[in-house]
Amino acid sequence: MMRLSTGALVVLGAIAGFVLLVLYGPLFVAIFFSFFRFENNAVQWDSFSFDAYQSLMHDEGIIDAVLNTLLVGGVSVSLALVLGTALAFYYNASRSRHRDFLQLLIFLPFLMPPIITGLSLLVFFREADIPRSLVTVIIGHTVFVLALAYRIVLTRLQTIRASLVEASLDLGASRWQTFRFVLAPSLMSALGASAILAFALSFDETLITLLVTGTASTLPMRLWAMMRLGFTPDINALVTIILVGSTGLALLAIRFVGVAAPR
Amino acid sequence: MPRGDGLMSARAVEAVEAEAGSPGYRALITILAYALPVAFILLPLILFLIQSFFYVDHGDIVRELTLRNYERFFTGPAFLPVFLKTCALCLGVAVITVLVGYPVALLIASLAGRRKYVLMVIFVVPLMMSYIIKIYAIRAILGSNGFLNRILLFLGVIDEPLTFLIFNLQAVMLTLAVILLPFAMLPIFIALERIPRSLVDASFDLGASGLQTFRDVIWPLSAQGTIVGGTFVFVLAIGDFITPQMVGGANGFTFGRIIYSQFGFAFNWPFGAALSVILLVAVLIALGAGSLLARTRHQP
Amino acid sequence: MADAPKTLVELRQVTRSYSGVEVLHPVDLALRDGEFMTVLGPSGSGKTTILRIIGGLVRPTSGAVLLDGADIATMPINRRPFNTVFQDYALFPHMTVEANVGYGLRVRGERRARIRDRVAETLSLVALEGFGGRYPAQLSGGQQQRVALARAIICEPRLILLDEPLGALDAALRRQMQQFLKRLQKEIRTTFLFVTHDQEEAVTMADRICVMNHGRIEQIGSPEEVYYRPTNEYVARFFGDNNLIDVSIGGVEDAGRALAGKLGAFHCAGDSSSDIAEGRPGKLLVRPEAIVIGGGEGADNRVRVRIEDVSFVGPVSQVLARPLADPGQVLMVKLQSRAAGAPVAAGEEVDLAWSAGECHVVTA
């Protein structure tokens, strides 16, 4: 865009530094206190240990929560990818005016505050007599991440030159063969990017989950419940593990999206 | 969406559609496409809307259409003031995030090559980091038994823990601002990135100073993205009920929390639904105002 | 030109490197006050870099940029009395035509009334009266182009830099704009530096052409000079369809130089070869329109050929022929087309002839 003058660079740099401190400072504090204890108004430097992490391993509630989170993420991401791809193809191929209505529907859960999405599903499940469980959580997450998968696939689909499809059909390929040999390969990176991003979203989803879940807990909910009781090294340890996981996922996603982004 | 000639839009579609078969086949495809989005997105919303016109009598939902929930919102002593206060709070969050996010986005956009993207990643990664954890960490710092207070006590700056740091609306506003900042930055950054370098060159070439170039070229061309970022933050902030509960305490009562409580211990779903509809109206107004503002700021 | 032309801008030993790679080798260029110079070269030849160095968008890695004899290499872009017409026009999309054109005056703090008058004047100069209230997106490519031009000339800069400004226009509009630019330049008496990769455009518009290749200036001269008297093989090949014949340079004779090659002995008049040492290899240049088919008993130069192909390309017909002495080479002849058809047909054996004054020698 432009080069900044030195003066502007210094001022903006100072603001950026402050923002980084605010964004990351709290997280580092949490990580720090997963290893050290804070007693008598001082950091106990000799208290370094992995005790907090070990006690997590024996907490069945947390292990359950981790498994639930992975299950919900895996299933809802898969569903959203299949459905999102199909809908992207439909939108791309449809010439009717009502396709924009369909698109709006898909985007709605992403655009509305999560509390609305969650509550409307809650009411729907009760009216339909579907008991709240992990199944309803999966439905909630699928609805939520569908927009993302749909959008990424559609964007990629629209950058594929029409002549490629025409050339394939012209050379005698069937529509299935055209999909298999021409479209699918160039969609793979978009699908990968969607999968990672959607999984990261699902992994962290709290508001909708809280409203549609039954007795089963996902990791953010488990964490929330623990946090109401106060601060313990255990929580800091769990926080650290989740942070490492979601940061890794985020970096992976950004890398993937960077590669997948059409130039 | 782009509908350039060379793209996989109408042209290829014609080719595919030419052999797509009978109208019946196409109708079937359309029905399949609509089935799930209608069942799991549209239908719940409609049911939800209808629910807001029911009412509760002795703990049972009465399925009769009435406006009494909406009446209660406007006539009850607490609801409207909390709603307005929440709107003001979220507007504050949007303003803070934009005021802080814009300079940072400007800085990042002005960098060259690899450094730019590395820095953007650093600022965007927190966006994907656990939301609950961020609240927790901020609370651990600001709380009366928190890190900041302990340090200040240790240093002798204060004699007893500061209590105004947490469990009030200011704490909610700041926490939401920290959590939502990357959401504001991203659209601003994208808008700045889209400004062609040659426009800035042209402005300098015609004799403008750096400030003049910012005022006349960069700001007008990034205002739309800034408004989008602010709107985005407002929408995300207004529906939140966990942050206010965690850092707002008894003094941090927001509209989101009132709605949530109707589905929790108050167990008045119809009234909660009505309040949600009002929240949705506020969101729609915000989105509409945002796009209106963005449009008047730009060319016809 | 009656007066001795005054130098406006001069580049002295200017270079530019990007991450260690030199894209502009030491370049010397003097721009005369009031001239229309085109910088011509293929993409990557360094022509845009030269323009951006003069405009202040790029700093030279070494060397001096002089304006009226004073070094301006570190003068910031917004202080230079030059304005640029950008390749993509760089019109501010959020400003009307009027605001775009008046921008340079506005940032200089001119009074509003004066800006309004000057904008109106300038818009009429580029034939856009009445378009002031529109936005760039509502204009055609040619109109946008003229807005960019108006915006660049309104501050009365000493020099106007044009970076392939006609590249996005279709052929007809392009020709029209070339005429227009030329006229405008005469009218406002400002120096123009015009970068292009189109040799026809460069020749049509320029007082002088600067031919560039691989970050070096190959030749600077009037269009006639670079067309008829190229100083090296690159320029000779770049301008049109010169026939290039391998020769070795012989001694000086009455008419000019004696040359010898696979195709026989040639005689070349003119001064181009006068400072070339005897015995060196060189290339003989003949323009295809200078060659006469058949006859020419008394011609200075003659080659016996077999006609390979005759093709009609509108006003001229193009004849391709292979010399009998060296069938691996192809010579091209351009004839004015006639309704009666070409005087030769494929397969015929004829003589090609040209006079000593119509050819030119460069060292290989």
Whether B285 and B203 map to the same domain: the answer is yes
Whether B208 and B250 map to the same domain: the answer is yes
Task: Look up residue A80 and give its two tokens.
Answer: 């959203």
* CB within 8 Å of chain B, chain A residues 68-127: 83, 86-87, 90, 92-96, 102, 105-106, 108-109, 111-116, 119-124, 127
* pLDDT digits 0-9 by tens, C60-83: 999 999 999 899 987 888 889 999
- CATH classification of the domain holding B254: 1.10.3720.10
How many Cα atoms within 13 Å fall on the side-chain side of residue C354? 24
Rounded to 5°, the CA angle C26-C31-C35 comes to: 150
Whether residue C213 contacts residue C234, with contact meaning beta carbons closer than 8 Å, is answered with yes
How many Cα atoms within 13 Å fall on the side-chain side of residue C341? 5
Residue B61 lies in a domain: no
Whether B178 and B33 map to the same domain: the answer is no
Residues 6+ apart with CB under 8 A from B111: B119
Task: Look up residue C88 and give its two tokens.
Answer: 């993509």
Q: Which domain holds residue B238?
A: 68-298
**Mean of pLDDT values over B78-88:** 93
Whether B12 and B130 map to the same domain: the answer is no
* pLDDT digits 0-9 by tens, C157-191: 999 999 998 887 888 888 889 999 999 999 999 99
Residues of A in contact with B231 (CB under 8 A): none
Q: Is A5 part of the contact surface with chain B (CB cutoff 8 Å)?
A: yes
Residue A215 lies in a domain: yes
- Longest Cα–Cα distance in chain B: 82
* Residue at token pair 């823990």: B161
Q: Rounded to a whole number, what is the distance in Å from the CA of B300 to chain A's nearest CA?
A: 23
Task: Look up residue A262 and give its two tokens.
Answer: 């059409």
Whether B82 and B113 map to the same domain: the answer is yes
Residue A36 lies in a domain: no
Whether B108 and B245 map to the same domain: the answer is yes
Q: Is A32 part of the contact surface with chain B (CB cutoff 8 Å)?
A: no
Whether B22 and B138 map to the same domain: the answer is no
C284 - beta bridge partners? C245, C361
Of B38, B48, B236, the CB nearest to A113: B236
Residue A30 lies in a domain: no
Residue A15 lies in a domain: no
Q: Which domain holds residue A190?
A: 59-260
Q: What is the count of structural domains for chain A?
A: 1
User: Could you tell me whether strands C243-252 and C191-196 are parallel, antiparallel, or unpaired per DSSP bridges?
Assistant: unpaired
Whether B23 and B120 map to the same domain: the answer is no
Residue A234 lies in a domain: yes
3-state class (DSSP) for residue B97: helix
- CATH classification of the domain holding A144: 1.10.3720.10
Per-residue burial over C74-113, b if 16 or more Cβ lie within 10 Å, else e, is eeebbebebbbbbbbbbbbbbbbbbbbbbbbbbbeebeee
Residue B56 lies in a domain: no
Range list of β-strands (E), chain C: 7-18, 21-32, 36-40, 62-67, 70-71, 82-85, 159-163, 191-196, 208-213, 216-221, 243-252, 257-261, 264-268, 281-286, 292-293, 301-313, 316-323, 331-336, 349-354, 359-363
Whether B16 and B164 map to the same domain: the answer is no
Select from C97, C80, C78 the least CA-distant residue to C89. C97
Whether B85 and B125 map to the same domain: the answer is yes
Model confidence, pTM: 0.82
Cα torsion angle, A40, A42, A46, A50, sign: positive
* Class of residue C137 by CB neighbours under 10 A (exposed 0-12, middle 13-18, buried 19+): exposed
Residue A12 lies in a domain: no
Residue A252 lies in a domain: yes
Q: Rounded to a whole number, what is the distance in Å from the CA of C205 to chain B's nearest CA?
A: 24
Mark yes or no for CB contact C92/B201 under 8 Å: no
Task: Look up residue C165 and give its two tokens.
Answer: 């400004």
Residue B265 lies in a domain: yes
Whether B262 and B137 map to the same domain: the answer is yes
Q: How would residue A212 be classed by pLDDT, with cut points 50, 70 and 90?
A: very high
Q: Rounded to a whole number, what is the distance in Å from the CA of B212 to chain C's nearest CA?
A: 7
* pLDDT digits 0-9 by tens, B190-236: 999 999 999 999 999 999 999 999 999 999 999 999 999 999 999 99
For chain A, what is the total number of helices (H) and then of strands (E)? 12, 2
Of C87, C94, C155, the CB nearest to B206: C155
* CB within 8 Å of chain C, chain B residues 206-245: 206-209, 212, 216-217, 220-221
> In angstroms, how far is CA A247 from the centroid of its own chain?
11
Closest residue in B to C88 (Cα) is B198
Q: What is the count of structural domains for chain B?
A: 2
Task: Look up residue A261 and give its two tokens.
Answer: 């982004």
* pLDDT digits 0-9 by tens, C106-124: 999 999 999 999 999 999 9
Per-residue burial over C230-258, b if 16 or more Cβ lie within 10 Å, else e, is bbbbbbbebbeebbbbebebbeeeeebbb
Residue B60 lies in a domain: no
* pLDDT digits 0-9 by tens, C256-276: 778 888 888 888 876 555 566
* pLDDT digits 0-9 by tens, B24-73: 887 888 888 899 999 999 999 999 999 999 988 887 888 889 999 999 99
CA C161, CA C255: separation in Å to the nearest integer?
44
- Contacts of A among chains (3+ CB pairs under 8 A): B
Q: Rounded to a whole number, what is the distance in Å from the CA of B295 to chain C's nearest CA?
A: 11
C62 - beta bridge partners? C15
**Mean of pLDDT values over B79-107:** 95
CA B84, CA B278: separation in Å to the nearest integer?
11
Q: Is B196 part of the contact surface with chain C (CB cutoff 8 Å)?
A: yes
Q: Is C87 part of the contact surface with chain B (CB cutoff 8 Å)?
A: yes
Whether B212 and B87 map to the same domain: the answer is yes
Task: Specify the pLDDT at position A257.
Answer: 64
Whether residue B223 contacts residue B297, with contact meaning beta carbons closer than 8 Å, is answered with yes
Residue A47 lies in a domain: no
Mark yes or no for CB contact B198/C86 under 8 Å: yes
Residues 6+ apart with CB under 8 A from C144: C89, C91, C136
Residues of A in contact with B239 (CB under 8 A): 112-116, 207
Q: Is C57 part of the contact surface with chain B (CB cutoff 8 Å)?
A: yes
* CB within 8 Å of chain B, chain C residues 143-172: 151-152, 155
Mark yes or no for CB contact C107/B300 under 8 Å: no
**Mean of pLDDT values over C276-290:** 83
* CB within 8 Å of chain B, chain C residues 260-289: none
Whether residue A175 contacts residue B29, with contact meaning beta carbons closer than 8 Å, is answered with no
